[in-house]
Amino acid sequence: MSLFVIVRHGQSQWNLENRFTGNVDTPLTDLGRHEARQAGALLKQDRFAIGFTSVLRRAMETMDIILQEISQTDLPLERNAALNERMYGQLQGMNKTEVEAQFGAEQLFHWRRGYADQPPGGESLADTYNRVVPYFESTILPHLHANENVLVVAHGNSLRALMMRLDGITPKGIEQVELATGVPRQYTFDSQSGTFQLLEK
């Protein structure tokens, strides 16, 4: 049995400003760094064998803060763009309220939450799933099968895509799933059955 923990990065500057961030490399806010410290405090009793992040600094900084909190700054880390946030195309940098005013609430919902809906010039959640999950299967899952505890720090949409795999969420069901910044989501993995069990804490 191994432990698998996923954490959405702490609040970023563009989260604070209610902008579509996507793969723009925005930094954490002071609150975001505080959220990362709180995440670390919740994980102090856990020991990890390896960690994974995207190549975006808000995820990497969150990981660094967590590792400082749990006294595992020497943890081996792998960074890969497969875990990057969904790319929002022409919406990146735009304020979500302004997008709603321009295009309507229904269109905004489909762009933000629809599984197959692509914003102009951007990725759908389905596109995100199709890069995140194969990377998970080929690179992260073998560590869990080896009974190693694994920590992943990534982004709202890359982790929502991964949760579809972990929790068996349907494309329709994922529309209603939110993932808070800086809050660890913990699973046990049974290598014999290949199943994940969410730990309710």
CA dihedral 140, 35, 167, 70 (to 10 degrees): 50
Active site residue 9: yes
Helix-, strand-, coil-residue percentages of the chain, each rounded to 5: 45, 15, 40
Catalytic pick from 9, 110, 143, 155? Answer: 9
**In terms of Cα–Cα distance, which of 83, 194, 77 is closest to 147?**
194
Alpha-carbon distance of 11 to 30, in angstroms, equals 8
The active-site residue, picked from 35, 61, 69, 85, is 85
Is 110 one of the catalytic residues?
Answer: no
Query: Which residues are within 8 A (CB) of 29 and not within 5 positions of it... i.e. 6 or more apart?
Result: 10, 11, 12, 13, 15, 16
Active-site residue set: 9, 85
